Structure formats: structure tokens, C-alpha cells
Structure 1
Amino acid sequence: MADIVTIRGDLELLARTEHVFSSVHEEFICAARDLNTWSRPEARQAAGDRLRSSETQQVRKLFSPASLADEHSREHLSELVDKGARVRIAATALPHETIIIDRRFAILAGLNTPGGREYTLTTAPTLIGNVYALFEAAWETATDLQAFLRGEHPQLDTESRTVLRALGSGATDEKAARELGMSLRTYRRRVAALLDTLDAGSRFQAGVRAGELGLSG
């Protein structure tokens, strides 16, 4: 197959990717707005059967909140978790939808057309690497399915929320500490505690995570 191929329609997608889905060895990742992104139910079921028959080591699926719109979808996603997949829910609708297999093959979903939805298939390492990096960034700021369904939000006291707003303002530590009436050491200690509470690896991620959980107001 050429490095990049564009096709239209679910049937052609299924035919072109049959061998790929049945040969997943290490990792299968998927980002989608909802459960109907990729194909009609029968085609999606066929792809799922091929995936389950392979010896995949890791399955990660990232969905927009719209994927939880009905009870059937919620049950389906919970079943995926029970079968060993890792499922997370993004804070907002995903701008790009993709499947990446073993970091060697990617499917990018395009717009619906009169001839069916358009898909781009690629084995180009640079393109796959860039798409993979975008997925990882979205994955890191998303919420695990079960936590999302339970509505588990970290509890922040008034001072922590004030520190969070200071982080979001872009002010330097010195300026933020001065405006909050804290010593620089105390401010930085509160920032470190806030990162732990939000399970964030960086200040930027803390801001994204807080926005996702509705804690930034």
C-alpha cells in the first residue's frame, strides 16, 4: 500500500484494513466522537472480532462526552473496560478521530460524503508519529470512564481555587504570591499540592484538568 491512501465508504475501509486489524500485536488506540464514528454496526462488529482474535497487548479508547448520551452506549463502554480496554472521556468533542495500530498504521476519519465517509489510511512514520503525539496529549487530560461516570471531582478549598486561578492568569510565581499575600515558598508549595490533587504532571496540565472537571471557575 502507498504511504497515504484516501478511500470512501465503510465497505472499502473494512476490505482495506482486514489484514491490519487481524495482525495487531502491541497496541490499538482509537479516538472517536461517539460509537458510530467508524462504520455501520455490522462492519464495526467485524473489525472488533478481528481485533479480539489478535494478541493485542494494550487497547486504549478515547471518546467525546457525546459517547455517553444513552444507556446502551454507557453499557457498551463499561463492557470494554471489563474486557481489559482502557477507556477515557475527553473534556470536549474531539477535533480529530483516528485509529492507530502498533504505531505503524493509522486511519484518519474525514467527513461524510454522498459516496460514504472519507478515510485516510497511512503508513507514513512521520504522520503517524504526529497523530500519536496528539492522541497522547488528549489522553493525558482525559478522565477514566468509571471516574467520569461517578462524577468524581477533586475537592479544592478556597485557597486552592485562588492558586488555580493565579496559575491560569499566566502571572509569574513572584507576582502571584505577592497578589495572594503569600511568601514565594508558600505559593510554590501550594502549587505543588494542587498538582498532586489534580493528578497533573505540569502546571499546564493542571489547568486543562481543572477546566475539564469544572474546577477553574
Structure 2
Amino acid sequence: MVQALLQARKLIESTVNLHRRTVARHAVVTMKGNDAAVANAVEALVDRARHGISIALPAGGDRAEVMVSALRRLNGPDHERIPVRLLCTPASLTDPAIRAAMESDVNTQVKVVDAVMEMLIVDGGVAMVRSSAERGGGDVVSVIEDTASVRALDLLFAGAWSGAVRPAEHRWISERLRTESARRILERLCKGYTDDVAAREVEVSLRTYRRHVAEIMRALGANSRFQAGVRAVELGLLSTADC
């Protein structure tokens, strides 16, 4: 699943780049990562919201502040109780702006996942994404109204959201599974090792290894050993390189 999401992200970036060249001009508006222009575009999109907003933030800092500041506009009567889904990473979870969003009066749900592509989706009909420029380096921000492209982004977000967990659950899992012994077991689960081989490598008895595996699977809500390894990557306990 993790590899599928990473491949989907690359596909989305390729699609965005393709649409910059081939879709009618009104469907995609592209700008360099100019802070003021991006902030104005975010506010304009949030103002259009009537049904729901989805935001993915891989990092904190100024980018998170721009998104969260725009969400404060939802406190007005025209946007009352519009649901917001905010997807962040372990690195951005502690950012002051994201913490403020979690504590605000806006109807916001927050979840944590290991990696996301920065995006804003409004009512499933318009999106803003930040991607790498094809030439010259740096970032490019695109506002997309092409139906197929926005739908693809919406599906990408939904897939990441379904695999993410609440902040409190993420903290609990991290505290429990960030030990060196848990990490070594997770790596072997992710790689598909048999219990016999894995137990020898981590230097415990087969019975003890299986007991640890059962505890890890319960903590991750996994139904299989492989799923436990995948969940560990999704939650940032392992990197894709570890698998």
C-alpha cells in the first residue's frame, strides 16, 4: 500500500505537469511559490468552500501558517461547521500553526501519516498542489479545476487519510514501538521474514518473538504480519528504505 501511494503521488505530479501543457488555460493556474500570491489563492479557495476542505501538510512553518490562517475564515456565518480534514506528518504535527488548528473552533479533524504531498482540496471540485518545477528547481503551485485531475487528487488524499491515525493514537504507538527491539522486529515483518529466521536475527526465542509480534500487531491494528510492517511505514516508524 505504501509503495502504491508513493507511485500515485508521482503519477499525480506527472499529471499536474502534463495538464500545465495540455489543459485549457482556465482549468489550471500555475504560479511560482510566491508567498503573497499563494496566500491570496488559498484564501480565495477557502472562501469558496461550502461542503468540505481537505488539506495535506508535509511540513510546518510558513506554509502551514498560510493554510491555517485561511481556515480562520470559516468561523463566519457563511461557512459555519464546514468540515475540514487536515493530514499532517509526524514532523509537522508539533508545528504551532497545526497545533492551533487542532485547538480552534473550526470543525477540524486531524490525522497523522508518514508522507503526504502538499495539497488543498475544496468541495472535491478545485485543488491547489505544490510540486517540483520541471526546470530551474524550486516549487510550483498550481490551482486546478480540471475535474479528472481534482478527482485523482481527492482519491490520493482519501487513500492517505484511511491509513492515517489520530494524533493521540500516533503518540501512543510511537511511545510503545520506537524501542530498538520493536524496530528490529518491524523491519523483519516489513521484509516478510519467517518467524524462525527473524527470531534468530533478533536473538530471542521463537516463542518470545511471536509474543512481541502479537503485541505489535495489536498496537498497530494489523491483521497480518505484512500489514504490520506496512502500517509501520505509514506511521513513520520505518522508512521505505527499511523494507
TM-score bracket, normalised by the shorter chain, equals: 0.5 to 0.7
Q: After superposition, what is the alpha-carbon deviation per residue over 1:77-136, rounded to whole angstroms, capped at 9, x for unaligned?
A: 5414x64311112224x3x20000111010012469x9x963100011111122122222
Asked whether 1:63 is paired with 2:88, we answer yes
Aligned-residue offset at 1:37: 1.8
2:48 aligned partner: 23
Given the superposition, is the C-alpha separation of residues 111 and 76 from structure 1 closer, same or farther in structure 2, using an over 3 Å criterion? farther
Return the match for 2:121 from 100, 113, 128.
100
Query: Does structure 1 residue 86 correspond to structure 2 residue 112?
Result: no
Distance 2:139 2:28 in 1: 17
Distance 1:56 1:110, change over 3 A: farther
CA contact under 8 A between 2:85 and 2:110: conserved in structure 1?
yes
Structure 1 residue corresponding to 2:63, chosen from 37, 43, 57: 37
Aligned to 1:184: none
% identical aligned pairs? 26
Q: Runs of 5+ in structure 2 lacking a partner?
A: 1-24, 178-182, 200-209
Flag the structure with higher strand content.
1
Q: State the Cα distance separating 1:24 from its structure 2 match.
A: 1.2
Secondary structure in 1 aligned to 2:48?
coil
Paired position in structure 1 for 2:152? 130
CA distance in 1, matches of 2:40, 2:238: 46
**What is the rounded CA distance, in whole Å, between the counterparts of 1:24 and 1:63 in structure 2?**
21
Is the CA contact 1:28–1:58 (under 8 Å) kept in the aligned structure 2?
yes
CA distance in 1, matches of 2:42, 2:99: 27
Secondary structure, in 3 states, of the residue corresponding to 2:91?
helix
Of 24, 28, 41, 1:4 maps to 28
What code does the residue aligned with 1:3 have?
A
- Contact 2:220-2:228 within 8 A present in 1 as well: yes
Give the 3 Å change call, closer, same or farther, for CA 2–201 of structure 1 in structure 2. Answer: farther
Higher mean C-alpha displacement, 132-141 vs 120-129: 132-141
Contact between 2:192 and 2:226, CA under 8 Å: does it hold in 1?
Answer: no
Q: Map of 1:55-204 to 2, 5 A cutoff? A: 55-69=80-94, 72-73=96-97, 75-80=99-104, 83-92=106-115, 94=116, 96-110=117-131, 118-151=140-173, 168-170=190-192, 198-200=220-222
**Structure 2 length normalisation: TM-score?**
0.58
Confirm or deny: 8 A CA contact 1:109 1:118 kept in the other structure: yes
| Aligned residue type for 2:49 | V
Cα offsets for 1:10-29 (capped at 9, x unmatched): 33334445443123122111
Q: After TM superposition, give the deviation of residue 214 of structure 1 in Å.
A: 3.5
Aligned length: 199
CA contact (8 A) 2:93 2:99 kept: no
CA RMSD between the two structures:
4.4
Question: How far is 1:59 from its partner?
Answer: 1.0
The answer to whether the 8 A contact 1:10-1:117 is kept is no
The 1:83/1:122 distance shift into structure 2, 3 A limit, reads closer
The answer as to 2:229 corresponding to 1:207 is yes
Higher helix share: 2
2-side partners of 1:197 and 1:149: how far apart?
A: 12
